[in-house]
Structure 1
């Protein structure tokens, strides 16, 4: 049983422990290459990527990247939205085929950045079962959009989210969903792993009770909305998934699908994009703070290309 491997590696530590990142993606051609390049620089040894029926060139981009990185692609065309099941499957592949000691179950729009140093593995231990790390939304600005916005131009993240009432998140047309609290993410040891939650916010491991921990040495920078075109395409896809009445999805997606069906998604996008005046107010009260750490890594990969 692989739980025994978990304990054995603590008694006899491997010389070069491996960090493997799994990614479940669909139509993320604007961000997938940067995601893999940044994380490879940060110490990720291998990638296992499940492509969920991309039609925008994401699958072809992944194929091209295989020549540079230890990258396995799994094609999953089913549109049944079995995220938890697929993430656990990818973690098993990472353990069995890539020799993973730790697994990051990632989304293409998330960047896991150490707050000090240049390697994620510096902040992990071989006896880690589940490591919970904070996650922050990155903010769109009008100025960046005018300059031909790309996600890596964002310099501000949410620091202290606004705790709107849940009912308001569903119905109030004046709030910004990028400012609400979002759940953290976890890094798991695949040996002894039992279950990963659908969004990778929690995990069950045989040794949770003893070695699970939380750290702020790593932060996940989340870029959920990168352009109006990407935003609308994502919501159209979510609309199709929600035709399955058993689909589990966050309230924000249900809100956005409803606005799309009312022809008001562009209004929502314009609420999400923040003006300089609004940014100043939010910064004053620390709802939003300047954080250029991820941008430094984006600049590094451009320098290396």
Structure 2
């Protein structure tokens, strides 16, 4: 089996090196990456992996954030040009972790009639920034997920069989093609998710995306960004970020009441790959296997994903209908009707 990951990035130098190294270690054979106008060291990091022969780099100059279109292009290339059997459509802030067997071993067990498998986001909360690697600081995981419009919302992502006609939905949550049936209700992959990592990252992430989305108005602002967008328009993005940070006192309280759990699995794996601190463990420190209690917690958490499944299932249809309506409203016939209505009034 050949497993290919797609990756759309812009100014992700604080995380993208670790993200790619992690997934190559976890079983990904090749990466198809799109760099959209990065101005930090992201491009140089991607070019290094390309020179090593494990990454195909696409430079996308567009300034209107056509995420679905660009990820669809990469997913199709994975099938047609890079002989993929399965494809992961990942973001730079995601680390896919198969529960039990490795990623490739897991995907090889999926019955042939199913073409997509879901992974569940497990969100890690921002901590006070001390300039260390994100994974060294951010070891507090949110244990009370819900599907709501917020940066730490619960959602799933899909790994899918490679198809030259696949279409990736908004946010990379769904992979769509005739006969590409999702295996619903099973989440054998945890996606360790670090959506907001520092104040600087918050500004960079949201301002860049909002400017791009405003140029592509037909897409609208995604629900989980609405609060941040309002803060951005009011010049209060710093005030939006501040309540997201979990300080030491809030962490102690949250650990006591079950809101948070300490989860060092990514930190320890990255240390083994040469990222972050070593603390005398050496570079080959192994991540301990999950205990039964963690499996129970995971099962309890992903019951909230039923709402996001419905949202994704209908969201793509709603987006398509809204786009068609926008095209109709811009048509010459619609303009004539509006003018005629104005004349009558």
Query: Which TM-score band (shorter chain)?
Result: 0.7 to 0.9
Change (3 A) 1:287 1:206: farther
1:257 Cα offset (Å): 2.7
Change (3 A) 1:159 1:192: farther
**Residues in 1 aligned to 2:164 and 2:259: alpha-carbon distance in whole angstroms:** 38
Which residue number in structure 2 is paired with residue 229 of structure 1? Answer: 200
1:44 Cα offset (Å): 0.2
Structure 2 residue 87 is the aligned partner of structure 1 residue 103: yes
1:273 Cα offset (Å): 0.6
Q: Which structure is larger by alpha-carbon Rg, 1 or 2?
A: 2
Superposition map of 1:142-291 within 5 A: 142=128, 145=129, 147-153=130-136, 154-162=138-146, 177-179=150-152, 181-191=153-163, 194-209=166-181, 212-244=183-215, 245-291=217-263
Whether the 8 Å CA contact 1:279–1:288 is kept in 2: the answer is: yes
Structure 2 residue 123 is the aligned partner of structure 1 residue 137: yes
Higher RCO structure (Cα 8 Å, ≥6 apart): 1
With normalisation by structure 1, the TM-score equals 0.81
**Residues in 2 aligned to 1:295 and 1:216: alpha-carbon distance in whole angstroms:** 22
Number of aligned residue pairs: give it: 271
Deviates most, 294-303 or 235-244: 235-244
With normalisation by structure 2, the TM-score equals 0.72
- Aligned alpha-carbon RMSD (Å): 2.1
Q: Deviations over 1:197-219 (max 9, x none)?
A: 1111122233344x634543311
1:50 Cα offset (Å): 0.6
**Residues in 1 aligned to 2:63 and 2:154: alpha-carbon distance in whole angstroms:** 25
Structure 2 residue 31 is the aligned partner of structure 1 residue 47: yes
**Residues in 2 aligned to 1:259 and 1:149: alpha-carbon distance in whole angstroms:** 27
Unaligned runs of 5+ residues in structure 2 are: 275-282, 285-345
Unaligned runs of 5+ residues in structure 1 are: 1-16, 170-176
1:158 Cα offset (Å): 1.8
1:261 Cα offset (Å): 3.2
**Residues in 2 aligned to 1:19 and 1:248: alpha-carbon distance in whole angstroms:** 33
1:249 Cα offset (Å): 3.2
Superposition map of 1:25-36 within 5 A: 25-36=9-20
- Of 268, 272, 290, the residue aligned with 1:300 is 272
Matched residue of 2:226: which SS? helix
Whether the 8 Å CA contact 2:3–2:86 is kept in 1: the answer is: yes
Matched residue of 2:159: which SS? strand
Whether the 8 Å CA contact 1:133–1:185 is kept in 2: the answer is: yes
Whether the 8 Å CA contact 1:131–1:188 is kept in 2: the answer is: yes
1:268 Cα offset (Å): 2.0
**Residues in 2 aligned to 1:250 and 1:149: alpha-carbon distance in whole angstroms:** 30
